[in-house]
Structure 1
Amino acid sequence: ETNSTLKAVEAQFGLTEVLWNVDSQDWNNASTAQIVQAASTLQNGGVILMHDGYQTTINAVPQIAANLASRGLCAGMISPSTGRAVAPTDTPPGTTNPTTTTTPQPGGGSCTATYRTSQQWGDRFNGEVTIRAGATAITSWTATVTTTSPQRISATWSGTPNWDSSGNVMTMKPNGNGNLAAGASTTFGFTVMANGQWAAPTVSCRTP
């Protein structure tokens, strides 16, 4: 159930409300055939309400999958930005993003930054960034981590952070000595309060 008050609270906390367009009626003693029939009305981006506690629903799943496939559709995932169903990807939001290589410094040396999500809970996730020196040793590094609003970084470790005025761009420098031998690496981490947005941060690294 929802109403304007609930929607206002959702907006305040940057949450996306996800409802369904098709009710399978499995909670109302619908048969497997009736659940399959309800699912056959799904369109691209649609969401169906089903419950895994009913054997009739479990029995309906293979038939529903076959029907979707015959219409060029598939089971998907909820987009954190729109709240609508989208096709699944090999890299779900909040898991990984590509390595970024920076321009070498005048004195030689470069670094790369690689991000991964190490842990995830219902309201937040932990990110880890690996900084790796290139073919030449470096004496220091600066990493940039950019989150997607309304995300906020609530904690950091193994580095010295600073934020820009938006609060979404964090620069991280090493604690103490930032020397890295050629090919050597170090890591730092942080906690992101998702606030309904599960996109992975983007990261880059530069050598001052």
Structure 2
Amino acid sequence: MNTNRSIRKSESGLSSDISGQPYCVSVLKEGYCTAESDGTFRADGTISLITGPHTILVDTGGPWDRDFLVTKLKEKGLTPDDVATVVGTHGHSDHVGNLGLFQNSKIIVGCDISVGDRYLPNQLAEGQPYPIDDFVSVIPTPGHMGRDVSVLVKGTSEGTVLVAGDMFERCHDEDSWKELSENPQIQETHRQKALQMADVIIPGHGPLFRVHRE
């Protein structure tokens, strides 16, 4: 891997529905984070759906998104029971607020993997990926919080797609991500690795973007 290449990021020319073989990736809801005049801010996390041999939902939005999420799944011909695996990239409420919809799914939140009340052994906390199959893997990307994960999808029409949670807030987040990070040094390491491995990144609070290595 050549880490000396310059990196450029751009939001233009990308559809929220990325085709692929065997997996497609769709952004069901684009996350946002906006400051309010009273000093508060409004935020909701990106919700992504990966369809193919396995149906995988990455982040569920906040509890206020419940009806929206059920409707978007229905538009894809799915119900919550059709989702094999739900990945919560980290434990903030705007990313895992609807886990209760998916009682029959394998649930991955950070480095914990469970089916019902049964927790499965894995090595995410030790820095090892958790493969769904040859094309999709859950990878540890801590920093924003202590046990964040991302989902790597290979073989799409846009190349390798990384659903990154809040490792990236948005495409051009250089002015803001560190103040939201529990461990900026570790997060920066994973951000740089992500920019070397992914062709498209889906961030936690903004449009998906393309990575150009020059």
Pair in the same fold by TM > 0.5: no
**Bigger CA radius of gyration:** 1
TM-score by length of 2: 0.24
TM-score by length of 1: 0.25
